[in-house]
């Protein structure tokens, strides 16, 4: 029975590591789209077309990742609160409203620098005051798949 408990403990730790790694990867993917957006604008390229041409993703997909990244840049501790990417993007407005109106300094606490460990490597992220797009998303990250299936996440 001790062997099973040890295996169970290792599995739980791996689930936490994988969840952290997933959020860190999605955060960095949003950063890539932010940087690409600025580059495309500097080159006077049409953003929606350039995203499809260069990355094989629709504007809606890129916007979802950029929104997630902007929200995390403002409130880094959202990354370790146990919510998934889909939950954070879906409840973005509620999270922002709550953190802005909370009187106990919760907003400041969530805005602290963050050190995460994923796959044995330390990831340090500094907060920033980003404008979070005023869009809303469903919980289903593939809700537009039927419309954009030919351009979504082409490697």
Is residue 47 included in any domain, yes or no? Answer: yes
Three-state SS sequence of the chain:
CHHHHHHHHHHHHHHHHHHHHHHHHHHHHHHHHHHHHHHHHHCCCCHHHHHHHHHCCCHHHHHHHHHHHHHHHHCHHHHHCCCCHHHHHHCHHHHHHHHHHCCCCHHHHHCCCEEEEECCEEEEECCCCCCCCCCCCCCCCCCCHHHHCCCCCCC
Task: Flag whether 78 is in a domain.
Answer: yes
Residue 80 has pLDDT above 90, yes or no: no
Residue 69's domain comprises 2-145
Domain for residue 138, yes or no? yes
Say if 154 falls within a structural domain.
no
User: Is 153 a member of any domain?
Assistant: no
- Residue 27 confidence (pLDDT) above 50: yes
> In this structure, is residue 151 part of a structural domain?
no
Selected residue with higher pLDDT from 54 and 153? 54
Q: What is the pLDDT of residue 129?
A: 64
Q: What is the mean pLDDT of the chain?
A: 77
Q: How many domains does the chain have?
A: 1
Summarize pLDDT for 84-141 with one digit per residue, the tens.
888 888 888 888 888 777 656 655 666 666 676 666 677 777 766 666 666 665 555 5
Q: What is the pLDDT of residue 147?
A: 45
């Amino acid at each position: 029975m001790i062997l099973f408990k040890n295996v169970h403990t290792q599995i739980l730790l791996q689930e936490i590591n994988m969840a952290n790694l997933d959020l860190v990867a999605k955060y960095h993917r949003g950063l890539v789209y932010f940087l690409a957006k600025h580059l495309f604008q500097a080159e006077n390229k049409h953003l929606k077309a350039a995203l499809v041409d260069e990355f094989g993703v629709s504007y809606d997909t890129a916007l979802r990742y950029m929104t997630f990244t902007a929200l995390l840049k403002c409130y880094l501790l959202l990354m370790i609160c146990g919510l998934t990417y889909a939950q954070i993007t879906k409840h973005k407005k509620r999270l922002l409203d709550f953190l802005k109106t909370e009187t106990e300094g919760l907003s400041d606490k969530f805005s602290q620098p963050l050190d995460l460990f994923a796959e044995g490597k330390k990831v340090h992220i500094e907060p920033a005051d980003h404008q979070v797009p005023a869009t809303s998303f469903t919980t289903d990250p593939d809700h537009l798949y039927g419309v954009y299936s030919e351009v979504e996440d082409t490697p």
